[in-house]
């Protein structure tokens, strides 16, 4: 199976990093692109929490620029700079998956016809690719790190992973 390219927002990188699973991204996607506003958000995060992932340290991560014209062409929205850059880049490069967790960002990306995957989707893909043995402990770890997850979505993810009890 060939790997699709992905452009990632802050939360996907942040939470995969916090649970020690950041290497799933290059195992599942290539290239892994990160817009400059996302890099800046992670830089700010390291001021608060030093263990925040720094994609500049990964040989597999590629920093990308997104012009204000491309971002400005998006439909009106109230998304953050990182989310807008991810959506704009993926929209300009149609083969890219948009790595997004925020519901409003996901809705806008999907309305533009983009393929979207979030942190939980990466974990599900990793299990399907036999890169991890189980999803549940990693989803629980993400939640323990502050990831907000609706209980119904938690059940749905475990069902998709064939890990229901």
For residue 39, the enclosing domain spans 4-133
Q: Rounded to an integer, what distance in angstroms lies between the CA atom of residue 67 and that of residue 84? A: 11
Question: 145: Cβ–Cβ under 8 A, 6 or more apart, which residues?
Answer: 15, 18, 19
CB 99 within 8 A of CB 15: no
Residue at 102 is within a domain:
yes
Residue at 79 is within a domain:
yes
Residue at 162 is within a domain:
no
User: Residue 33: which CATH number?
Assistant: 3.40.50.1010
Residue at 81 is within a domain:
yes
Residues 140, 129, 101: CA angle, nearest 5 degrees: 45
pLDDT at 2: 62
Residue at 58 is within a domain:
yes
pLDDT at 165: 58
Spell out the per-residue pLDDT of the chain, length 165, in tens. 569 999 999 999 999 999 999 999 999 999 999 999 999 999 999 999 999 999 999 999 999 999 999 999 999 999 999 999 999 999 999 899 999 999 999 999 999 999 999 999 999 999 999 999 999 999 999 999 999 999 999 999 999 999 985
pLDDT at 164: 80
Residue at 142 is within a domain:
no
Q: What is the pTM of this model?
A: 0.94
Give residue 67's Cα distance to chain centre: 21
Residue at 45 is within a domain:
yes
Residue at 157 is within a domain:
no
- How many domains does one find in the chain? 1
């Amino acid at each position: 199976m060939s790997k699709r390219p992905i452009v990632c927002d802050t939360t996907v990188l942040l939470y995969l990093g916090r649970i020690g699973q950041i290497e799933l991204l290059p195992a599942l996607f290539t290239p892994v692109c990160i817009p400059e506003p996302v890099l800046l958000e992670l830089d700010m995060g390291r001021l608060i929490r030093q263990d925040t992932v720094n994609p500049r340290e990964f040989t597999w991560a590629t920093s990308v620029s997104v012009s204000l014209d491309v971002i400005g062409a998006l439909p009106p929205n109230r998304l953050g700079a990182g989310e807008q850059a991810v959506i704009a880049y993926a929209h300009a490069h149609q083969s890219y998956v948009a790595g997004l967790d925020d519901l409003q960002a996901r809705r806008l990306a999907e309305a533009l016809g983009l393929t979207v995957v979030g942190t939980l989707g990466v974990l599900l893909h990793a299990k399907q690719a036999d890169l991890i043995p189980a999803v549940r402990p990693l989803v629980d770890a993400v939640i323990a790190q502050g990831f907000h997850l609706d209980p119904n979505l938690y059940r749905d993810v475990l069902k998709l992973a064939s890990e229901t009890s």
